[in-house]
């Protein structure tokens, strides 16, 4: 069974990094999740764009019970429901879909709703989203944009995603981000294709260190 909602929420904030796993095969996705977990980030957001993503989610839940597994790029409530049945502990959407937020509330699971504008952030928060995934963030000003949003929305848990780099990770945290969604800068395609777990483990440690350093 998925972890308690509050436990999941606390774990995401405490870890500070949500690895966004996009891969060309189920095996590649599982490999990535295992590697970053060994590097100290025991969270994996498996995007629905991964072939057989639902099976990857259920497999990771079975084989790595310590791993917090979520479903990303969830586009509608039906897709969300299938992911929850597979054991996903949290849901992430790239844009604001209120039906997904409602489903998550009904099922008592954490949802990270995609939003970009202040209106979308407010709408998602009022609907009950636990986190707001600000996407794509780097293209709209990066840490400065998060800082600007935190002005009118100090109580909203913002998770910048899209273009978050190792060099900017600390800046995002200092600007008020609750956690960071990190894709290609952590789940490096070449390392995936070459099955270089050492590269992914090292990057996971460095991202975790950047977050910890910024919080200190």
Given 4, 45, 167, 201, which residue is catalytic?
A: 45
Tokens for 2?
Answer: 């998925």
* Residue 4 falls in the annotated catalytic set: no
How is residue 190 written in tokens? Answer: 């070449």
Give the active site residue among 133, 167, 185, 201. 133
What's the start-to-end Cα distance of the chain, in Å?
34
Report CA 173 to chain centroid distance, whole Å: 15
Q: How far apart are CA 191 and CA 196, in angstroms?
A: 5
Non-local CB neighbours of 152 within 8 Å, separated by 6+ positions: 118
Annotated active-site residue 133? The verdict is: yes
At 198, phi and psi to the nearest 5? -60, -35
- The residues annotated as belonging to the active site are 45, 133
């Amino acid at each position: 069974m998925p972890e308690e909602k509050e436990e999941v929420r606390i774990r995401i904030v405490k870890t500070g990094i949500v690895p966004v796993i996009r891969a060309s095969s189920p095996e590649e996705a599982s490999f990535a999740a295992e590697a970053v977990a060994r590097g100290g980030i025991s969270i994996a957001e498996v995007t629905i764009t991964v072939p057989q993503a639902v099976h990857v989610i259920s497999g990771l839940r079975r084989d790595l019970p310590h791993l917090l597994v979520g479903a990303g790029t969830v586009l509608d409530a039906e897709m969300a429901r299938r992911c929850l049945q597979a054991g996903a502990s949290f849901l992430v959407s790239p844009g604001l879909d209120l039906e997904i937020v409602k489903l998550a509330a009904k099922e008592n699971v954490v949802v990270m709703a995609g939003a970009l504008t202040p209106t979308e952030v407010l709408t998602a928060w009022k609907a009950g989203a636990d986190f707001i995934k600000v996407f794509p963030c780097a293209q709209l000003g990066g840490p400065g944009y998060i800082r600007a949003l935190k002005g009118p929305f100090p109580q909203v848990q913002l998770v910048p995603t899209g273009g978050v780099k190792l060099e900017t990770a600390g800046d995002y945290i200092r600007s008020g981000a609750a956690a960071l969604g990190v894709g290609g800068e952590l789940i490096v395609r070449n390392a995936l294709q070459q099955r270089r777990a050492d590269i992914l483990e090292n990057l996971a440690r460095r991202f975790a260190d950047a977050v910890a350093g910024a919080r200190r």
